[in-house]
Chain A
Amino acid sequence: MESIDFRNFIENDSNPFILFDFGGHIKYLNNSAEILLGYVNPKVLYELATEYAPKSYGHKSILSNLEFDTFSFYSIMVGYEDDETIYIRLYNKPLTKQEKIVSKELMIPTDINSLLEANITLFEMQSSNTKLSLFVDQDLPMFKIDQNSFSKVIRKMLSSFKGCENLSIDLKLLFGEYIVLGDTKYQIVELILKSQKRDTSNDEEISQIVNNTYLTCQIKKDAFKLQMPIIV
């Protein structure tokens, strides 16, 4: 049989693949792994590989839910055929693609800082003892959002931090990352609300509102990460 170079298939596989040497240094990683390593320390993945490595030479698959920032995996495979190298491959959790049909008519150019400030003022009325750390970019451009839905989302998100000792609010423009809507690439403004813990009872409702907008939201036990495309 003719020899085939499979390296290119691995290189472009959407599942991250990393090959470590015996000291934990990366010898090879594919494109997906390169993106993943922007969010997770390679040491964490090396430790994962050594922890789940098969007892003797070979390959082993483990079903386990893993989450690194926005990345979700349902399984890993770890293998080695000599004492010099070990690899780990992480299998992406399948996502259902949702085509969001959102009317742009509802979207109005908005000063995001003013809208956020109004929401924070409301939150301060309800949770006056929560210490706020605010990091916002006052130079953010006006961009189009559905103001009513956005306020509902922010109000409900902030409300889940009611009674918390402190809350950090971080609003910034992301560099080098984009959201593609239709045929157009948009820059992203990201809002992160984070504390030690929060009330998670309204999370489903928050997801539903977000799903009807151009917003994307990552919901964690202690934080929300809301991303908005800069549509001008």
Chain B
Amino acid sequence: MFFSNCKKIKQIKKGFELTRNMQISTLLYGEANIGKKTLVKSIYNNAIWVDGSDLLKVKNAFLENSELVIYNFDIHKNYDMDDFNNKKIVAIANETIVPDYIDSLFGFIYKMPSLKERPEDLDFFVNKYTKEANDNLAKEASLNFDINKIDLSDNIKSLKIDIYKKIAFSNLEKNEIQDILYDYFKKNLNGNNDYVKFLNIFEYPLIKAGLDKFGSQLKLSQILGINRNTLRKKVNENGINRF
């Protein structure tokens, strides 16, 4: 199922639907992992799909089919204009800019906005992957985090990883955390002064979370049962510059 609240994407979908039964070549391009394939699949699920990174396969597919979806379409290869005429070709390219000569091949050229450019879609994807991650990881976590801080560097892919991590690490028991740390230390302990080196793995989240929760070093020093000066020193050592 394809979903988007973004006006531009709705317009792209409308364009695809209006020309569904026409012999027109269309290029859909944009950053990777933004839903281009899902959009095209919602309209051309029954078409022949071919991987554009294999040019030989693409050339053969041109000969054998009058309706074709080419994903991973390589805009830098040379194509024969005749292959795009009188056929229904939908090419999907992970590019942010397309060269002028590509222009002459396609009747329609759409640029799909990245996830960063469509904040109106974030809620949908966060809810979708939160549910999916809970189901897959047998968890029942409800995420309560700032939607603006989700990792969108790789669009839906990084958002999904971010949510899976958050779900996987939510409500961990002490022994589960110890297991994770056990594996980490076993893999990485390898020096002369590793006690000091790895101490901040405990200290950083402990102090950072404490400060976020209790607000002041004075209060936190009482909670942790350590001297205020000791806490201040550790705040500085760990580069926590809240105060």
Contact = CB atoms under 8 A, between A and B. Distances in A.
Interface of A: 105-106, 108, 110, 114-115, 117-119, 121-122, 124-125, 146-152, 155
Given A115-B22, A117-B18, A118-B19, A148 B107 contact: yes
Contact of B15 (A106, A121, A148, A149): A121
B200 interface: no
B25 A148 contact: yes
Nearest to B17: A118
Contacts of B107: 147-152, 155
B8 to A, nearest CB: 5
B104 A152 contact: yes
Given A108-B23, A155-B107, A149 B85 contact: yes
Contacts of B103: 152
Interface size class, chain B:
20 to 34
B19 A148 contact: no
B23 A148 contact: yes
Interface-centre pick from A106, A108, A122 (highest chain B CB count, 10 A): A122
Contacts, number: 64
Given A147-B24, A148-B86, A115 B12 contact: no
A109 to B, nearest CB: 10
Given A148-B25, A151-B107, 4 more contacts: A106-B86, A119-B108, A122-B108, A148-B85
B149 to A, nearest CB: 30
B55 interface: no
Contacts of B19: 114-115, 118, 147, 151
A148 B24 contact: yes
Interface string B1-36: 000000010011011001100111100000000000
B109 interface: yes
30 contacts: A105-B86, A108-B22, A108-B23, A110-B22, A114-B22, A115-B22, A115-B24, A118-B18, A118-B108, A122-B11, A122-B15, A122-B108, A122-B110, A124-B11, A125-B8, A125-B11, A125-B12, A146-B86, A147-B19, A147-B23, A147-B107, A148-B24, A148-B25, A148-B84, A148-B85, A148-B86, A148-B107, A152-B106, A155-B107, A155-B108
Contact of A146 (B11, B12, B85, B109): B85
Contact of A147 (B11, B12, B22, B104): B22
